[in-house]
Amino acid sequence: MAQSESSDSRKKIAVGLIGCGGAGQRIHLPLFQKHHCLYQVVACADLVREKAEVTAREFGIARVLSVEELLQDSEVELVVVATRPPRTHRDLARTALNSGKHVVVEKPMATNSEECTEMIEAAARAGKLLAVHHNRRWDVDFLAVREIISSGVVGQVRLVRNEFTANFAGCCYDWAIHLLDQTMVLSAGRKFAEVTATLSHPEVANPIESGGFFTARFRTEDGVIHDVGMLPPVNGSALRPGKAPVRFLIAGTEGVAYLDWCQRPEDAFGKFISYQGASPEKFWGDLKSVQATLTVADFYQGLFDAIRDGQPCPVSGEEGRRAVRAWELLCASACQGRSLSIEL
């Protein structure tokens, strides 16, 4: 019996993919190919059936089903909801959970935090796992930031800046949610008590539909500042002529660390981190290498361990909801033109 249970715990997870657009084809399916020893995508579905058929041929998926058929399919153990826009996530996730499936939803988790709560409650009733695919938690620059903070090399952290430059138009919710999720993680369990934000295109009638560039400052209960923003590209500064602004800045009682944009592990061995100590005898060499963090389990490895072995979910529904709530509060501050006292 014990041998059978052990075998079942490592059995491949049968996956059904809903949404064969960019996120499904370019993000989730390549990750399942990488983890082919852990997962098998057995079916896919899309409102445009021809798109699902093309996806199935390209990735060797055996069955193309309607969305309704996939949600009820007895072979499927995990449903991945990779649809857009996020207003489609709640109903698909709830139906899958009610059908006894584990669920992964692409970020943003939903349109608003109330929808997120409904999804979390559905997962609790079903006794199934609900995870949110916040893949930017595994970017190398972000892993390095987490190591710098946890290593204590900058001392007690007082300021974290998490900013991204891009050319874009329209609602920035889809990318902003990455930065907000990262900021929630970097708060290291602290609660936020205040937010001050501005948006270039606020939508007062419907704040969460606000767009354009933004900047926001979240303050924790103990006074740590987290600046987050999406800003227009600039051609450097007096300190960094010809270079884009730094991606992350971490300032503490013992020094300041700056990190450039870096997604690929192979880039981590270049000089993309700068460090200035609070005392002149501290140099760059005092920073620990980020190499060790590059071996951390990625999202789908962590998800497998959560489903099969009861390990913590890599990104829980509650974490997904917190990022969505941060966006709501950011937009409310920007649209009202004032700082807000918050509980986040």
Q: Do both 190 and 91 map to the same domain? A: no
Q: Do both 119 and 56 map to the same domain? A: yes
- pLDDT confidence of residue 51: 97
181 lies in some domain: yes
- pLDDT confidence of residue 244: 61
Q: Do both 126 and 225 map to the same domain? A: no
User: What is the pairing mode between strands 192-201 and 211-220?
Assistant: antiparallel
Among residues 202, 243, 211, 235, the alpha carbon closest in space to that of 333 is found at 202
Domain boundary among 104, 133, 162: 133
Q: Do both 126 and 7 map to the same domain? A: yes
Q: Do both 255 and 216 map to the same domain? A: yes
- pLDDT confidence of residue 259: 82
- pLDDT confidence of residue 263: 56
Q: Do both 71 and 91 map to the same domain? A: yes
**Residue 237 three-state SS:** coil
Q: Do both 111 and 175 map to the same domain? A: no
Angle at alpha carbon of residue 175, lines to 169 and 181, rounded to 5°:
150
Domain boundary among 118, 133, 148: 133
**One pLDDT digit (tens) per residue for the chain, 344 residues:** 444 444 566 799 999 999 999 999 999 999 999 999 999 999 999 999 999 999 999 999 999 999 999 999 999 999 999 999 999 999 999 999 999 999 999 999 999 999 999 999 999 999 999 999 999 998 878 888 888 888 888 899 999 999 988 766 566 899 899 999 999 999 999 999 999 999 998 988 888 888 888 999 999 999 999 999 998 776 555 555 556 668 899 999 988 888 877 655 555 544 456 777 776 655 544 454 444 444 456 899 999 999 999 999 999 999 999 999 999 999 999 999 999 999 99
Q: Do both 244 and 113 map to the same domain? A: no
- pLDDT confidence of residue 156: 95
Q: Do both 90 and 167 map to the same domain? A: no
Residues 154 and 196: beta-carbon distance below 8 Å: no
Task: Provide the residue range defining the domain that includes 17.
Answer: 2-133
Report d(CA 109, CA 164) in Å as an integer: 21
Q: Kindly report the CATH number assigned to the domain that includes residue 267.
A: 3.30.360.10
**Residue 247 three-state SS:** coil
Domain boundary among 133, 161, 185: 133
